Amino acid sequence: MHVCEKVSLFPHNNSQAKRFKTLLQDYLLYVQQYPWPANAYQFTGTYDAWVKVYSAMIACFTLPDTVWLVRALKYVAMQLVLLAIRIDNENTQKTFSKTIDAAGRLSKGAGLAANDRSPSPGVQTKRAAVLKLANLSFRAYFQLKNTRLCETVLGSVHNALLMNRRNDESTMSGEELYPVSERVTYHFYVGQIRLFQHRIQAASQHLRWAFDNCTNAHAHNKRKILISLIAAHLILGRYPKLPLLRDYDLVQQYAELARQHRLGHAARVMAELERNRDWLRARGLYMILREKLALGLWRNLFQRCMRLIPDTSGTSNAPPTLPLRKLVRPARLAWNDNTLSLEDLECMAANLVDQGLMKAYILHSKEMIVLQRGPHRGFPPVKDVYHG
């Protein structure tokens, strides 16, 4: 049913009919004056004209019984963010004013869709639009490199999914009603957000879901997901297989990095990160990998040295201990740095304890690390440390 036919449903409500007439007028005016949004970025006033169409669409969407507008709203919203980003990219001043404006409008749109409290199954409510609007908001915020504002949008999605589960017993997550493409995009963005928040385990789960459910027909998208997924897995101590790296043309970026990290060659790991610094920075991965991989290398060094000491937990109630002096030579070899001292090792031990990567306390007077008793001997699995 066309919009014109829908307008006739409100013959006795001038206010509602006026909103639809405004939508039609703004849309037809845009079509008359400008090219299609995808090709209109070079024309002055195109963004403002399309904003009028989007605003009129949102005004209609707020009315009762307008679930039928979901598909049209998704399209208008998508064109809004694409047009905003394209115009800002062409602008030499790089103020990103259009993208900032689009992000705010889309975020509010996602909140509007999520606030539909209808007891009907999600596909029959305005909540059916929330994932698309959220993804478009994320795209704008990522373009602005401002993922902090994504939390508001995530809250809207969470509320919508909760309502979906309450009103449809057949859905486990509340996501099933949305197209797989929207779900894959959503999990990719959430995985990226959690990775930047250093919530590595959560990031890994979202990115893995996105990768597994992205079809092979979209190899470019799978590669994009995999780049971040491998970064999360490296921090967790999981290493990609070489055939996988070959399939997605990531051998140069990750093969040697993963191999040296597995072997514990800290200096070579840092060298690999420096070699690919520009590539990693462009994807927002350099700083987190440099920080977390260095911590992981120190943790693994301490743990390997600990394993060389016989385990006496079965014959003694004393906690396991690790003399700091026994760490100096292995640390110098791993980091290729003969200046590392006992004080440096003590500082690093304190850092590992503070980060939760080592359950222990330090006896400064005896130059000793006293570790937690138990099956892990003071070194909990990395996935448990980054479980948030």
Quick check: 170 pLDDT over 90?
Answer: no
| Residue 311 confidence (pLDDT) above 80 | no
Ordered by start, the domain boundaries in the chain are: 14-178, 256-386
* Number of residues in the chain: 388
Give the residue from 79, 78, 171, 181 showing the smallest Cα distance to 125.
171
* 84: its two tokens: 């905003």
Share of the chain above pLDDT 90, in %: 77
Residue 317 has pLDDT above 90, yes or no: no
Query: Does residue 327 register a pLDDT over 60?
Result: yes
254-352-315-317 Cα dihedral, nearest 10 degrees: -160
Residues 191-237: tens digit of each pLDDT: 999 999 999 999 999 999 999 999 999 999 999 999 999 999 999 99
Mean pLDDT over 343-369 rounds to 94
pLDDT band at 171 (very low <50, low <70, confident <90, very high): confident
pLDDT digits (tens, 9 = 90+) for 105-154: 999 999 999 998 888 887 889 999 999 999 999 999 999 999 999 999 99
Cα–Cα distance measured from residue 278 to residue 290, given in angstroms and rounded to the nearest whole number: 13
Is residue 77 within 8 A of residue 109, CB to CB? The reply is yes
Among candidate residues 36, 135, 45, the one with its CA nearest the CA of residue 79: 36
Half-sphere exposure of 302 (CA within 13 A, CB side): 33
Amino acid 42: pLDDT: 75
Q: Which of the residue ranges 168-177, 233-242, 358-367 would you say has the lowest mean pLDDT?
A: 168-177
Tell me the C-alpha distance between 306 and 321, whole Å.
8
Q: For the structural domain made of 256-386, what CATH number should be given?
A: 1.10.10.10
Question: Would you say 122 and 78 are in contact if contact means Cβ atoms under 8 Å apart?
Answer: no
Above 80 in pLDDT, residue 13?
no
Cα torsion through 22, 25, 28, 32, rounded to 10? -130
Residue 253: name the closest of 277, 225, 237, 235 by CA. 277
